[in-house]
Amino acid sequence: MEPHNESAYADYVEQSWPSLVRAAVFLGARPDEAEDLAQTTLVRCYTGWDRVSSADNRDAYVYRMLLNCLRDTRRTRWWKDRQYDDQAALDRPATDHGGSDAAERVAIADAVHRALGGLTKPNRDVVVLRYFVQLSEKQTAEALGVPPGTVKSRLSRALAHLAANDHLLDIAGDAK
């Protein structure tokens, strides 16, 4: 890679890392897996930096790569075995190492993750890319390879589902 491209890539990595990790978490990965996914995505960006940097919509292109990395990971036998371990961990009682603020943050994060887990995969992808990553409707459509109208209809269904979700209603009731 040429030095000016190397510098542009390094700047992009520094700027996009937190957003990629956060998006991977909201797409269903655990924090350590989210970092691995973000790293794999950025390695793929490095090897194809000419394509990435010349893309009409770089963010949509990179989030599409992140989604593909996540799908690749979930196809493996290892992931299927891991899901059972994760469910057992969720069933164990959590220990509180912080004060009530930390417990409240954990409860809210848990409620959001459970609510997002209740969505279908396509609807969760749309919600995460649109609201957590803050891509535009057009960018979200490009990242998912669907028409913008599909993004709008999936968002509508997903938001209606989330509005009626018991986990979110519980924390909304606590906040009043």
* Whether the Cβ atoms of residue 141 and residue 153 lie closer than 8 Å to each other: no
Query: Which domain-ending residue is among 59, 92, 125?
Result: 92
Give how many domains the chain has, as a whole number: 2
Q: What mean pLDDT do residues 8-29 have?
A: 90
Same domain, 146 and 83: no
Residues 6+ apart with CB under 8 A from 166: none
Q: Which domain does 86 fall in, by range?
A: 1-92
Specify the higher pLDDT residue, 90 or 155: 155
Single pTM value for the model:
0.65
**What's 169's domain CATH number?**
1.10.10.10
86 and 102 in one domain?
A: no
Mean pLDDT of 26-31: 86
Cβ 135 vs Cβ 143: under 8 Å: yes
- Name the residue type at position 1: M
